[in-house]
Structure 1
Amino acid sequence: MDCTVVLITGCSSGIGLHLALRLASDPSRSFKVYATLRDLRAQGPLWEAARARGCPPGSLETLQMDVRDADSVAAARTRVTEGRVDVLVCNAGRGLLGPLEVLTAGAVASVLDVNVAGTVRTLQAFLPDMKRRRSGRILVTGSMGGLMGLPFNTVYCASKFAIEGLCESLAVLLQPFGVHVSLIECGPVHTAFQEKLEGGPGGQLDGADAETRELFSRYLRHCEQVYCEAAQDPEEVAEVFLTALRAPRPALRYFSTERFLPLAQLRLSDPSGCSYVAAMHSAVFADEPAEDPDGPGRRPEPEKWGGPELGAPPAAPQ
């Protein structure tokens, strides 16, 4: 039986690297993995880990592919010797953190180019063949930052919100073609992603006012706590991709963690947005936990914050 041909973008580290290894070393030996990297000089850790895991010969190949360059994407496609890609994993991405007013135009453009336009270029290159063959799966690395706005992640969230619309629109269209699109919605993951933030962590903070700089400091402390409590191992996230890949009827969205779903659901339960904004601000910036009937000093769980009924006018912010 022919192997399932998988092409993954962004494999120099993190989720892409771990997913490539997981599939290439699968005991079934049913996957041929093309791990793509923008710069092949960064492929050393991938091959070192592949040797350590005993990936069979021929199960893994690396290709140079820069999602910012349509010619690079097209060239990578031609180097897939099987002449087809059964599973396309759009994983390449960049982060951008800091007050919006201090972010440089170059940093903003770079993140949108990789995260949004880069995903579009990749899909444009591989989707036509899937539609012709009436078969294929597309897995896209999503983020909880694509389901709800996160402070100081304005441009990153904008890019991930765009990916949500892109994939949802395609999922509706592609049903008759037998091509399935799935978003893997990730929370915080233990990878080098934070170390590779475009422009560094926060940009030029001197350009922000003192109150914003203080809020940013509090946000960083909040993030540190969240990462300590909730960050997942990339191997765990790779298993979610595998679940989506093997599902007979793939869903549009899979979640690597359910920890943040109550906040995401709050956006839907109160379409005005007031409940979500208040809850997220409290969760990130509150100096002291709010009092709660469940016990002194405990912050209420997001699902208990509630919100106005559908169709009711939004309550005035307190």
Structure 2
Amino acid sequence: MTDDKVWFITGSNTGFGEAIAREALSRGDRVVATARRPDAISLDAPADRLLPRYLDVTDIGSIRDAIAATVARFGRIDVVVNNAGHGLVGALEELSEDEIDKVLSVNVRGAASVVRAALPTLRSQRSGTIVQMSSVGGVVANPGHAIYGTSKFALEGMSEALAGEVAPLGIRVLIVEPGPFRTEFAGRSMTFADPIDGYAGTPAGVVRRRFRDQDGVQPNDPVRAARIIVDAVSDDSAPLRIPLGPEAIDRIRAKLTQQLEDLERWAPTGRDTRFTSEIR
């Protein structure tokens, strides 16, 4: 047994997945870097440190095979990073059924499938960390981003429940909520629904233009984010939710502050629900 960690990372060929893998390797850890196109993984490390593997999060067989290969090569899994995912911009009415299904199958069902496949190993070890790559969009839903927001809200709910389920087994969960980072998320990883003219001047139309304009000029560095995430895995005091970037922190604070104010304002009315015959 060594002190280095074994990382299992989905979507390792680009963005946060690649940055986290590079950071882990730079610290002497071992990485199983997975992607639908493993030939596109540009990481460079000796075979005893790096195992590139094919994995499609919508293909349960490929997930199980990659988990089995990880245990066969390295004997354990210490960190699972659910990073694979993609976005979809468009007002709810603009989206096709196929577009909706693709986002939910990757961002929600795929993430759940990876966790479910890894948990038997983590349970047998009674240790491990599951890192769920959510988004500021998992806390604050934008017009024009309804199904992506749906997927990340669902991921956050699943992960919060999961954290309570696995904590007694020695397993931690971290939910990472990045704002705009300079990855390919707003470019190659983003799909745009066919527009309906009626939404052009609405907030949904503005979001469509904003995503196109921000690709490649996002203000935050994924390499610095990766360092924070890798540090958090080793920090027992790290919170369940880890917002990253000033935009995410400011927007989440504003949302939660408004939500708390609304709760307090509505509480007297909302509490008045008891059967009148039982009020003493």
Bin of the TM-score, shorter chain as denominator length: 0.7 to 0.9
Q: Give the equivalent residue in structure 2 for 1:79.
A: 69
Give the distance between the partners of 1:313 and 1:167, measured in 2 at CA: 28
The secondary structure found in structure 2 opposite 1:188 is coil
Contact 1:97 1:197 in 2 (8 A): no
The secondary structure found in structure 1 opposite 2:84 is coil
Say if 2:150 is the partner of 1:165.
Answer: no
Q: Give the equivalent residue in structure 2 for 1:112.
A: 104
Partner of residue 238 from structure 1, selected from 214, 226, 244: 226
Q: Give the equivalent residue in structure 2 for 1:18.
A: 19
Partner of residue 32 from structure 1, selected from 30, 33, 36: 30
Displacement of 1:10 after TM fit?
0.5
Q: Percent identity?
A: 30
Give the distance between the partners of 1:229 and 1:37, measured in 2 at CA: 25
Contact 1:240 1:255 in 2 (8 A): no
Give the distance between the partners of 2:217 and 2:69, measured in 1 at CA: 42
Q: Give the equivalent residue in structure 1 for 2:239.
A: 251
Q: Give the equivalent residue in structure 2 for 1:280.
A: none
Gaps of 5+ in 1: 273-306
Q: Give the equivalent residue in structure 1 for 2:10.
A: 9
* TM-score, with structure 1 as normaliser: 0.76
Partner of residue 39 from structure 2, selected from 29, 41, 59: 41
Give the distance between the partners of 2:246 and 2:115, measured in 1 at CA: 28
Q: Structure 1: which amino acid aligns with 2:99? A: A
The structure whose RCO (Cα within 8 Å, separation 6+) is larger is 2
Give the distance between the partners of 2:187 and 2:218, measured in 1 at CA: 18
Aligned length: 264
Structure 1's 168 and 225: CA in aligned 2 closer, same or farther, altered over 3 A? same
Displacement of 1:172 after TM fit?
1.4
Partner of residue 101 from structure 1, selected from 93, 106, 122: 93
Structure 1's 309 and 71: CA in aligned 2 closer, same or farther, altered over 3 A? closer
1:179-194 paired onto structure 2 within 5 Å? 179-194=171-186
Give the distance between the partners of 2:21 and 2:75, measured in 1 at CA: 19
Say if 2:131 is the partner of 1:131.
Answer: no
Contact 1:24 1:56 in 2 (8 A): no
Displacement of 1:35 after TM fit?
0.3
